[in-house]
Amino acid sequence: MTQQQNMKNQEKFALMFNAVLSMENAACKRLERRINEVSLPEAKQQLQHHLKETKEQQKRLQNLITKYNGTPTTEELGLPLPSYPESIKKEMESSMTEGEKELKKSEEDLLVEKAEATCYNMLIQKSNILNMGTEALPLLQQNLQEEESMINWIETNCPIMIQQLLNK
């Protein structure tokens, strides 16, 4: 590989890391909002824990981007949240209890976490296949593991949350 090709690949990886950073930037803001919204103490504690992890993920990505001669972004990606048709959205908002609304937000939490895990999986695969960015793999795998841990927490605690929130 020529030096020019290597520089081009580094720019691509810096861009890919920045894309994931923009997602973590948006996720961080969303977690801060969710911590204030959630009523279940265990869920609040888990969201606070994951917010700390997310801030560490941001730092890891910022360091990687700088290492690849990029500039870490402060921008935010649009998170993959459902956009209901207006008629359904209005009916849901007017008919749902506070507990049901909180459960809906928990569903959205799970969607966001799964999207983040997917992005890390794809980035790890690209690094392996292109044999580029391989020194970043331990950090990407750590971020992925933290996202998967949050996914597992939500899925494991979903029945308990449903039981507690539907009785609200």
pLDDT digits (tens, 9 = 90+) for 16-44: 999 999 999 999 999 999 999 999 999 99
Prediction pTM value: 0.91
Cα separation of 71 and 64, whole Å?
A: 10
Task: Please enumerate in sequence order all residues whose Cβ is within 8 A of that of 100, keeping only pairs 6 or more positions apart, or say none.
Answer: 165, 166
Burial 91-122 (b: 16+ CB within 10 A, else e): eeeeeeeebeebbbbbebbeebbbbbbebbee
According to CATH, the topology of domain 3-166 is Ferritin (1.20.1260)
pLDDT at 166 over 70: yes
In the chain, where are the structural domains located?
3-166
pLDDT at 4 over 90: no
Give per-residue pLDDT as tens, 44-55. Answer: 999 999 999 999
For the beta carbon of residue 142, count every other beta carbon within 10 angstroms: 15
Give per-residue pLDDT as tens, 64-114. Answer: 999 988 999 999 999 888 888 999 989 988 999 999 999 999 999 999 999
pLDDT at 1 over 70: no
pLDDT at 9 over 80: no
Whether 73 and 21 have beta carbons less than 8 Å apart is answered as yes
